[in-house]
Amino acid sequence: MKIRRLKLLMMLPMLVLGMVACDDNDEKDPQKVILGKWEIFAIGDWPNVNEVAAPRYYKEYFSDGTVGLYYYESKEYEMKGYKYSFDSKKSFLYYHWFLDGEEINAIQYSYKFYDDKLRIKHINQGLHGITTHIYKRIK
C-alpha cells in the first residue's frame, strides 16, 4: 500500500505541471487576441521603426470583424468602413474595404502578437516607405 501511495505522490507533481504547461488555445487564436483597444506605438519600414511620441487615436477591434477609431483630440469615435479577418495558417491579417455593401478592396498584412503588442506589415508596397505599424494594447 505504501508503494502505491508513493507512486501516486510522485506522479502528482507531473500531472500538475502538465496541466499548467498546456497552452490555452484562446490566447493563440488571433480572432480572440486582437479584440480590444490598440494604440499606435511605432511606425516605419521594418525593422527600422520609430516610436510615436504622441498617438492621436486608438483602434478598437470587435468580434464581428469591425474596427472603431477613437480620436483623442476631438473625443470622437468613428466606425471604419472596413472589416478585418485572419488567415492564421499563413499569418495574414486582411482589411476588407466595402462600398455600398460590396467588397472593393482587401489589403494584406503579415502580423505578429508579442508582449501585448501587435506588429502588422504590409505584404505589398506600403505608403511612402511606411510598411510597418506596431500597436500596443491599452486598457
Mean pLDDT of 38-43: 97
Asked if 58 and 37 touch (Cβ cutoff 8 Å), the reply is yes
Residue 24 — pLDDT band, cuts 50, 70, 90?
A: very low
Residue 46 — pLDDT band, cuts 50, 70, 90?
A: confident
Give the span between the Cα atoms of 124 and 103, in whole angstroms: 19
Residue 5 has a pLDDT of 58
- 98 forms beta bridges with 103
Domains and CATH numbers, the chain: 25-138 (2.40.128.280)
Q: Is the pLDDT score of 116 beyond 70?
A: yes
Please list, in sequence order, all residues whose beta carbon lies within 8 angstroms of the beta carbon of residue 38, skipping any fewer than 6 positions away. 58, 59, 60, 61, 118, 135, 136, 137, 138
Asked if 97 and 8 touch (Cβ cutoff 8 Å), the reply is no
Residue 21 has a pLDDT of 43
Asked if 117 and 39 touch (Cβ cutoff 8 Å), the reply is no
Query: What would the pLDDT profile of 56-88 be if each residue is shown by its tens digit?
Result: 999 999 999 999 999 999 999 999 889 999 998
